[in-house]
Amino acid sequence: MMSSNEGQRERTMTVVKVRVRDDRAEVMFVESAAIYRVLRTNPHYEQTVRELSSAVGSHVRVRLAAPYAEIIEEATKDVRATR
């Protein structure tokens, strides 16, 4: 039986680091050992990378390309997680 958190495309995570590369940005989060990517081909690339970069140490709500994927489509500050 799958838990309610498994397989979801959207989740809240805490940004640790953002590294911009030629064809992508790589994003690391506290909650995962995986390196997530924002591809330059993403129409929301600039806005998403800007949001993630300004949120280092903070919570963001990320939408992934598919359940369990490591490709980020969009990210926004998670105002519900603000202390």
Kindly report, residue by residue over 2-33, the tens digit of the pLDDT: 445 445 899 999 999 999 999 999 999 999 99
Q: Supply the pLDDT for residue 7.
A: 55
> Strands 10-20 and 72-77: what pairing?
unpaired
In the predicted structure, residue 72 carries a pLDDT above the cut 80: yes
- Phi, psi values for residue 79, rounded to 5°: -65, -25
pLDDT of residue 1: 43
Fold of 10-81: OB fold (Dihydrolipoamide Acetyltransferase, E2P) (2.40.50)
**How sure is the predictor about 83, in pLDDT bands with cuts at 50, 70 and 90?**
very low
The owner of tokens 């081909």 is 41
Contact predicate 59/76, CB 8 Å = no
Sign, CA torsion 5/3/33/82:
positive
Please work out, in degrees rounded to the nearest 5, the angle formed at the alpha carbon of residue 64 by the alpha carbons of 56 and 10.
80
